[in-house]
């Protein structure tokens, strides 16, 4: 199976990787002219043959006919947006990487009440790193394109017009206080009750969960409440489990 790369630049039947993206292929993997890879061009997967290599640019000649296996195409999965409260970066970035591999379509880092002030202040500087992370995870998992990862947002931003789709959307907040509640609050049950939603937004709180005032905000905005069972999961585990359950429930 050929390795897949997501092109930074596409022009007709040629494509290129740029900057650090190209350097990884040229320096670390020691690619050679004539090697073949699968190249994701946005809406197609095409076989690409390396024509030129430098440390900041690798160019490919693309086959005229697209190559695609639908069973490997995560974009066929339901569209899941993850509103992920910002927490300790190493664990948060592990969640971002794994949720990308699972197939989420969009990630919104959210500044919550329990987000440490220094993490909230540093989030903007991590955005380029997060973009590289989702691109690398997408290539590793053979996605045709990475998920969108937005700049950091405050909770009230989720209520602004245009931030989330206006129709066909189910909005679900994970509420730890429901861990001992009956089965009707389990995430899979809640998602089934929202059918036929075409997109789902999952709000995952930080360590310690959402505060009471934040939960009130969600409920006032019409979000549904759900739990992942009678155990309390760490934020990164909750994000991964919830994303996987949502994609499977809506297939």
- Stated length of the chain: 251
State pLDDT tens for residues 109-163.
Answer: 999 999 999 999 999 999 999 999 999 999 988 888 899 999 999 999 998 877 8
Q: Do domains 4-68 and 74-250 have the same CATH topology?
A: no
Between CA 96 and CA 178 the distance in angstroms is: 25
- Residue in the structure block whose two tokens are 């409440």: 225
The CATH number of domain 4-68 is 3.40.50.1100: no
Domain ranges of the chain: 4-68, 74-250
Q: Are strands 9-11 and 14-18 parallel, antiparallel or unpaired?
A: antiparallel
CA distances from 201 to 67, 110, 197 (A): 31, 13, 10
- For the domain covering 74-250, report its CATH number: 3.40.1280.10
pTM of the model: 0.81
Q: What is the DSSP string of 93-133?
A: HHHHHHHHHHT-SEEEEEE-TTS-HHHHHHHHHHHHHHHHH
State pLDDT tens for residues 65-118.
Answer: 776 544 444 445 578 999 999 999 999 999 999 999 999 999 999 999 999 999
- Greatest Cα-to-Cα distance within the chain, rounded to the nearest angstrom: 61
What three-state secondary structure class fits 69?
Answer: coil
Which residues are CB-neighbours of 180 under 8 A, at least 6 positions away? 230
């Amino acid at each position: 199976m050929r390795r897949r790369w997501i092109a930074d630049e596409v022009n007709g039947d040629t494509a290129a990787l740029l900057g650090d993206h190209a350097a990884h292929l040229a320096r670390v993997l020691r690619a050679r002219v004539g090697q073949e890879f699968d190249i994701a061009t946005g809406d197609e997967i095409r076989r690409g043959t390396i024509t030129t290599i430098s440390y900041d640019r690798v160019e490919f000649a693309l086959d005229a006919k697209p190559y695609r296996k639908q069973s490997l195409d995560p974009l066929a999965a339901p569209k899941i947006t993850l509103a992920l409260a910002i927490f300790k970066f190493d664990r948060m970035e592990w969640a971002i990487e794994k949720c990308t591999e699972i197939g989420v379509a969009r990630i919104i880092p959210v500044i919550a009440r329990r987000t440490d002030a220094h993490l909230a202040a540093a989030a903007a500087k991590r955005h380029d790193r997060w973009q590289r992370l989702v691109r690398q995870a997408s290539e590793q998992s053979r996605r045709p394109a990475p998920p969108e990862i937005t700049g950091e947002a405050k909770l009230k931003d989720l209520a602004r017009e245009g931030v989330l789709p206006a129709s066909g959307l189910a909005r679900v907040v994970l509420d730890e206080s429901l861990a001992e509640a009956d089965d009707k609050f389990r995430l899979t049950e809640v998602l089934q009750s929202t059918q036929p939603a075409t997109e789902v937004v999952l709000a995952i709180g930080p360590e310690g969960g959402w505060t009471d005032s934040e939960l009130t905000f969600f409920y006032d905005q019409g979000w549904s409440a759900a739990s992942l069972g009678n155990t309390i999961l760490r934020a990164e585990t909750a994000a991964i489990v919830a994303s996987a359950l949502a994609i499977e429930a809506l297939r």
